[in-house]
Chains A and B, each alone.
Chain A
């Protein structure tokens, strides 16, 4: 299959590909400096994840229509819940024990809690639509869906990239991780933006955003899905041959494959030329 012509890009921390009418870029650099972190934290109103790749991004741009979608850490963090009950939904596994023992040790007078926020950094961020044309919006669709059969075919990969937007170790109580994976084939491109959460001894949660475009087609499809289950449930699925080795629990792909899907919806955007 000979698709549209393409050209690889590799320039100072930015890699990517020009293919057909698309420019796809992935930029990687170090985590934010202390100053950048202070600014971001002040803007967002929440503590920033420890490993904040605030300047990393993945972007896709369709020159003809002006459609542009970016994946970045700070807009994703802007969607983290900061309501008054946001830190109450999930607590570490030993929170109850901690609370009880504190009462016994007369430390109850320390009631001051850091301003509430969802400390798991759960975010349903599905990308930043920075298209120049406001009409280029994602709208729900029931007719279109991602062509999984095409994606299963071992078509040559012209460009492959993995990028990390943020990671936090939840004070050694687990992991919150936001990453992107992308692959470009002669006939289509495919992106997976994944928020992966593990709270040790409590739960696993995955928010996935998949972006699919068949090159030359008039639309881009976006599918968002949620998976979640208890830590105990997933741990029980580790093959017995592994014994006490819990390393599979650190593999987000294995965990995601074990998590039941809870909800998903599909949207698409029409790439209309201005």
Chain B
């Protein structure tokens, strides 16, 4: 198949979906590319690091606007591309195309949402079904997820991963010898890298009260950095109201790139720009204007997809079905007709919903 990647990328920027056969082809080719990547990919600055996106495609476009477009800007994405937002398909499609088009300028790390089990529950599977009429595209992408690398090191100094550290991993070399080409297991080092969280109130590892999952503390961070000759850990995975959070005396940062998360949290987001001298700058931004004022067509589409996808795009729908406007994300947008709260499936008239019992 002749593949015009530039044309694909252009279409995706206009939010036009790629044909199923094209998705199949780009996934196949990207897998071949990723197969040769180590579990720890070494890159150099300058690079812009992006945290969780969760299908918020308009905000990804915002990121390119403020951070620069490929290949002018090098990008490192830390995972969680899909689920929860309304445009996981477009998001994953464009990132795959960009990786294939500029393999040395785009790095894609695996997040805990890049998994078959999680995407079946949190929206990506449902979105693929609705946009393509079959689960094929979901299969192509979830197979691709198995190939995504687990970590990246910038200038031999900054260790980048989606979740955090693992009690089974003390050195980078231990990560390199893992077999990553599989579904994320429930436990073990591969699970820990995409699931664990820092706990600034502790020094060591601790087990989550949920019965699975670790938190790690200050001594763990210090030891890991010392052991591996690095000075910073960069990760995503946790929602930050201000878009980022710096912990452990600037030894660890969380970068969060989904503003107004789930279209109702009203949080800021950020991307982290790492300069050639190792300087780190958080570029903070708000939700894209399109997220607040979708067109009538978008509202229609959103209403169709609202059932089962836990997001709320618009602040309120009057009893006559007209949309009420929502305030700008900056001063708070904590409302949102979450789909949890809708009763009817595809019923376009909102009145029935209001007569809850």
Contact = CB atoms under 8 A, between A and B. Distances in A.
Interface residues of A, number: 67
A5 interface: no
Interface in B177-230: 186-188, 195, 197, 199, 202, 204-215
Interface in A33-66: 33-34, 37, 50-51, 53, 55-56
Given A107-B167, A175-B310, A183-B354, A31 B334 contact: yes
B118 A172 contact: yes
Contacts of A78: none
B307 A251 contact: yes
Choose among A37, A111, A183, A252 the residue with the greatest number of B CB atoms under 10 Å from its CB. A252
Contact of A98 (B123, B212, B333, B354): B212
A116 B209 contact: yes
A101 B207 CA distance: 14
Nearest to A179: B341
Interface residues of B, number: 69
A172 B213 CA distance: 11
A233 interface: no
A164 interface: yes
A200 to B, nearest CB: 6
Contacts of B204: 110, 112
A53 B260 CA distance: 13
Contacts of A32: 241
B309 interface: yes
A163 B336 CA distance: 8
Interface in A65-89: 87
B155 interface: no
B262 A247 contact: no
Contacts of A25: none
B212 A29 contact: no
B209 A179 contact: no
A30 B210 CA distance: 27
Given A94-B186, A244-B120, A248-B308, A13 B332 contact: yes
Interface stretch (B11-19, B263-271, B275-283): B263-271
A243 B207 CA distance: 36
Contact of B334 (A56, A154, A157, A172): A56
Contacts, number: 185
A171 B210 contact: yes
A30 B343 contact: no
B301 to A, nearest CB: 16
B342 interface: yes
A112 B240 CA distance: 26
A102 B316 CA distance: 47
Contact of A37 (B214, B241, B316): B241
A138 interface: no
Contacts of A183: 354-356
A113 B207 contact: yes
Choose among B209, B337, B338, B355 the residue with the greatest number of A CB atoms under 10 Å from its CB. B209
A30 B209 contact: no
Contacts of A203: none
Interface string B242-259: 100100000000000000
Contact of A110 (B118, B121, B195, B207): B207
A170 interface: yes
A105 to B, nearest CB: 6
A247 B242 CA distance: 31
Given A94-B187, A247-B307, A99 B211 contact: yes
B31 interface: no
B68 interface: no
A31 B340 contact: no
Contacts of A136: none
Contacts of B213: 98, 171
A251 B339 contact: yes
A92 B186 CA distance: 11
B357 A148 contact: yes
B94 to A, nearest CB: 24
Question: Which are the 4 A-B pairs with shortest beta-carbon distances?
Answer: A30-B266, A247-B308, A95-B211, A91-B211
21 contacts: A28-B335, A30-B334, A32-B241, A33-B242, A91-B210, A97-B186, A98-B213, A105-B188, A110-B205, A111-B207, A113-B207, A113-B208, A114-B207, A162-B341, A167-B262, A171-B197, A173-B210, A175-B310, A244-B125, A246-B121, A253-B356
